[in-house]
Structure 1
Amino acid sequence: MQRQRTDCPWWQRGVIYQIYPRSFQDSNGDGVGDLAGIEARLDYVATLGVDAIWLSPVFPSPMADFGYDVADYCGIEPMFGDLAAFDRLLAGVHARGLKLLLDFVPNHSSDQHPWFAESRASRDSAKRDWYIWRDPAPGGGPPNNWISDFGGSAWEWDAATGQYYLHAFLKEQPDLNWRKPALRAAMMDVLRFWLDRGVDGFRIDVLWHIVKAEGFPDNPVNVDWTPDRTERDRLIQRHSTDQPEAHAISADFRALADSYGERVLVGEIFLPNDRHARWFGTPERPQVHLPFNFQLIENRWNAAVLRRVIADYEASLPTHGWPNWVFGSHDAPRIAARIGDAQARVAAMLLLTLRGTPTLYQGDEIGIGDVPIPPERVRDPQDLRQPGLGIGRDRSRTPMPWDGSPFAGFSAVEPWLPLNADWPTRNVAAQSDDPDSLLTLYRSLLTLRRAQDALSIGKFALVDADEDVLAFERWHGDDRLLVALNLGTQRRRLPLPAHGAIGAVLASTLPPRVLDGSLAPDEGLVLRLEEAR
């Protein structure tokens, strides 16, 4: 169905679909997904009903952190293909009316990047200050108390040059120095390289990390830290993240993207609402279009909690800001694993009916749940460095199960990570043929969202409702809808609209039934509202 033309940019109406390339489709039988595999599955993505694909990193990398350690910002990792394969994929994406976003990693490179090799070669290197080097503390040891997000000191000693370099993540991921104009210019050229090639935007990795406080003071101790939390959380990252100078860089990214027409920038930012909202910038000096909003991941699946979260987030947005929502990613536990199969259907309805741009993570549309990873198959460096905390990300990166053939149609050999144990029945082919499947529900909701301006660009207001029920209205022009979601296991009252009457049922998480003024357990409804007669 064609959408009517409006003045809204595509990314406001659209839905983004994240693909983790290692785990989407293997085309050459090495057990790892690749660009040709993604190209072969583009018809699936197009018929799902999304508008854009976001690819996790595909650049050359030693894979210490599976692509987030970039050794060449303007190339393609041979494991995934080459630039010709990328160009074919991009052409295939555009031929299907879709957009393609790349994952830009500006905070750090790989320690195998030529820039870092030159930087660490000598204190007198022309690129020495493209990275962050410091002398030891006066009494010896690291320059300050900063902790890597993966545990341990954020500083690594380099005996050859007698200084430490900073790494917010692995020691194989040295932080770039964004206070250096030459480095900034080189990274802007990276963006131009891909924009000139035709990409439609970028998801910007750990954007709030990219500038550090001058003087590198110690971070304050977190008095609320407990041993069941990551080592990073022992400190409050006051001086190592979210510095005022980073906003000018974000604005420069936006100005460059806007110079190419209707491109979009999605910024990865984990911050409280008031600080998060600053990354929209101002109308005169805008920053990223969509500062990623992770609150559906970070908060309990509880109607009262989510009502507060949604209200507070909406209230925090500047007048020029556009909301966005996500409940799954390559870093987060699977939504079905967190809340179960029945509520995963309710979550699908919530994600696709809230005001703002949704991002859907591959595999959530078929309800992949908990995938235990045997110790001998753990690949995630974060999990390997801090075992026992339950923070492993491998469980979210398992291969996409396509059908009931050997290795789920993902590969001709054993995949790099285990498949979900129920893959023979929980796969795309099986759910495509099932009118009651989660995949069918996603497709119907995405079709409805595309057809209804009230859902894609309409206004939003929360509605008072009983315990366990989250309800809100969406409207655009004369079209008014009610979304009512039962997040509990008890039958609850269906909230009646303050004005008008309930008309047609446009979508339901459960099989069709006659409305009786109640919401069944695990039931979500999208209802058309009509004027009372």
Structure 2
Amino acid sequence: MKHAWWKESVVYQIYPRSFADSDGDGIGDLNGITAKLDHLKTLGVDVVWLSPIYRSPNDDNGYDISDYRAIMAEFGTMADFDTMLAGMHQRGIKLMMDLVVNHCSDEHAWFQAARTSRDNPYHDYFIWRDPKPDGSPPTNWEAAFNGSVWEWNEPTGEYYLHMFSKKQPDLNWENPQVRAEVHALMRFWLDKGVDGFRMDVINMISKPWRADGSLPDAPVVREGFLQPGFALTCNGPRLLEYLREMKAEVLDHYDTITVGEAPMATTQQGREISNERSGALNMLFQFEHMDLDSGPLGKWDLKPLDLRDLKRTMSRWQDELAGEGWNSLYLSNHDQPRPVSRFGDDGEFRVVSAKMLGTWLHMHQGTPYVYQGEELGMTNVKFARIDDYQDIEILNMYRVATTERGQDPAQVLASIHAKGRDNARTPMPWTAGPNAGFTGGKPWLKLNPNYPQINAEQALADPDSVFHYYRRLIALRHAHPIVVYGRYDLLLPEHPHIYAYTRTLGAERLLVVCNFSHGQPVFELPADIFHSGTELMIANYPVPTEPASTEDLRALRLRPYEARVIRLRA
């Protein structure tokens, strides 16, 4: 297996709107990030992934871009960006930008020109289709943010495709001029010193055209409603061709880190795209493990996580990419709820379960991602009123569910409390003081009310905090190549509460044992793993005196949400 700096790195995601506000307008900005870089240096991360900071009307909080080469005014200026980037590099931290090129904003100059006439040179930058003979939209697809994926454009008498908001028209990657534009804007940022890209829904850029240029209808899941079109638009026939072209034209000429967001991706696609010899990107964000607590109707259809499902999913990605590709490791980001509320216990066992989840994740093979506030053990929020939320997905879903589908508003809010994206977007709590030290003004989104107890100042002062535990986890990864390059092997695949696995590199072996429950299950070391001694590497409870030998591992009673990483000595 080839060694690479991006395999050995830990990435920290910043959602700029919610990280730190320097000018008192209630919105996080670039100068706020610069002022907090020592927090990241102390944590020990190697790379920052920065969610979009480009000029945008903010229909989807910056994921609708109107100018790819300009900074959103409320975030600062290009000079502020240069200062921030220099501050990161001075601290040995690289910067990965968000590349959002499946779609742009309907206020981008390209689309403003494209919608005026079918003959406009920019018209073919986007995806247009005539209505069906009965005047209805070209397909029955539902957009990610509800409603049809097709929006009528009166000046040209046709529909344009938008897989997300109607203000986010999809780009037509069949047009080589569009691809050249994307390559040029990538070079613009790489030449400024940026170190790579996280590519938003990149596996949607190739659409599944029929021979006649039409798109297929989606299978009917719910009678009388629009049907989810995502499964039909992910992993299209020319995806790898487009990504390989991007690699040849741009990425091969720079030393970058690249990760592609890839909903609905399979392990086979993960191997193909991240293959070191024939692929195009370093790694993918796959969603399979993020969908395990969703029912057949999608993310808002809540169901409990079965740990055995998580084992099967994670182990398949670990096993099938081993030696062929590379995994990204994450439990949270700007689109996901807080993991301690989702997979742990955000009450009595908040701290130990947050540490357990971090241990479980970081000890896998792959590049770990830490989302802002995860290192503090931040929790979900339960705003009582829909008006307290800002996210377009939440607001559209609530409107459709309550007014069009007649669902109980209280039940809809319960789903939002569990899965809503604003759970991850509440402002970063820096102190227990006014507005959590995030801003001197009114925060753009309400703070999590538990910020007096959960904040960075408190975490840094407490040697037993989640923050200092994450520091130790990251340091462990940096110090021991086995954590990066060791082989993964699952133990106890059918145990309902214990997730245990080994990592092996040469003669060295680590044992990772995690209890995902409130109970106290007994871990029994399988008889075929025999070693004469052990060494505790890290644990989320006060360091136990045992195990002194593998005999003690034959009946190790775990405390609630306990995690241990143990070196097994031959």
Q: TM-score, normalised by structure 2?
A: 0.87
Q: Residues of 2 paired with 1:255 and 1:318: CA distance?
A: 25
Post-superposition offset of 1:272 = 4.6
State the match for 1:217 in structure 2.
215
Partners of 1:279 and 1:291 within 8 A in 2: no
State the match for 1:506 in structure 2.
537
Q: 1:283 to 1:447 in 2, by over 3 A?
A: closer
State the match for 1:54 in structure 2.
49
- Amino acid aligned to 1:268: E
Q: 1:505 to 1:111 in 2, by over 3 A?
A: same
Q: Residues of 2 paired with 1:397 and 1:488: CA distance?
A: 27
Return 5+ residue gaps in structure 2 as ranges: 294-304, 399-411, 547-551
Q: 1:47 to 1:302 in 2, by over 3 A?
A: farther
Task: Give SS of 2:13's match.
Answer: strand
Q: Deviation string for 1:160-196 (max 9, x for gaps)?
A: 2211111111111111111011111111101110111
Query: Which stretch of the first structure deviates more once superposed, 289-298 or 163-172?
Result: 289-298
State the match for 1:488 in structure 2.
517
State the match for 2:404 in structure 1.
none
- Amino acid aligned to 1:403: T
Q: Residues of 2 paired with 1:236 and 1:61: CA distance?
A: 26
Q: Residues of 2 paired with 1:205 and 1:181: CA distance?
A: 20
Q: TM-score, normalised by structure 1?
A: 0.93
* Corresponding position: 1:322 with 2:322: no
Task: Give SS of 2:26's match.
Answer: coil
Q: Residues of 1 paired with 2:379 and 2:282: CA distance?
A: 31
- Amino acid aligned to 1:207: I
- Amino acid aligned to 1:459: R
State the match for 1:382 in structure 2.
393
* Corresponding position: 1:246 with 2:239: yes
State the match for 1:40 in structure 2.
35
**Map of 1:103-502 to 2, 5 A cutoff?**
103-214=98-209, 215-223=213-221, 225=222, 234-235=227-228, 237-274=230-267, 276-277=269-270, 279-280=272-273, 283-300=276-293, 301-317=305-321, 319-338=323-342, 339-340=344-345, 341=350, 342-373=352-383, 374-387=385-398, 388=412, 390=416, 392-464=420-492, 466-496=495-525, 498-502=529-533
Post-superposition offset of 1:54 = 0.3
State the match for 1:3 in structure 2.
none
Query: Which stretch of the first structure deviates more once superposed, 234-243 or 381-390?
Result: 234-243
State the match for 1:525 in structure 2.
564
Partners of 2:264 and 2:286 within 8 A in 1: no
Q: 1:433 to 1:210 in 2, by over 3 A?
A: same
Q: Residues of 1 paired with 2:146 and 2:106: CA distance?
A: 18
- Amino acid aligned to 1:210: I
Partners of 2:271 and 2:321 within 8 A in 1: no
Q: Residues of 2 paired with 1:132 and 1:318: CA distance?
A: 38
- Amino acid aligned to 2:560: P
**CA RMSD after TM alignment:** 2.1
Q: Residues of 2 paired with 1:35 and 1:47: CA distance?
A: 19
Query: Which stretch of the first structure deviates more once superposed, 60-69 or 365-374?
Result: 365-374
Post-superposition offset of 1:260 = 3.0
Task: Give SS of 1:10's match.
Answer: coil
Task: Give SS of 1:13's match.
Answer: coil
Q: 1:364 to 1:128 in 2, by over 3 A?
A: same
Q: Residues of 1 paired with 2:286 and 2:511: CA distance?
A: 23
Partners of 1:201 and 1:257 within 8 A in 2: no
Post-superposition offset of 1:489 = 2.4
Post-superposition offset of 1:527 = 0.9
Q: Residues of 2 paired with 1:349 and 1:506: CA distance?
A: 11
Task: Give SS of 1:136's match.
Answer: coil
Task: Give SS of 2:143's match.
Answer: coil
- Amino acid aligned to 2:365: R
Task: Give SS of 1:348's match.
Answer: helix
Q: Residues of 2 paired with 1:268 and 1:226: CA distance?
A: 30
Q: Tell me the percent identity.
A: 39
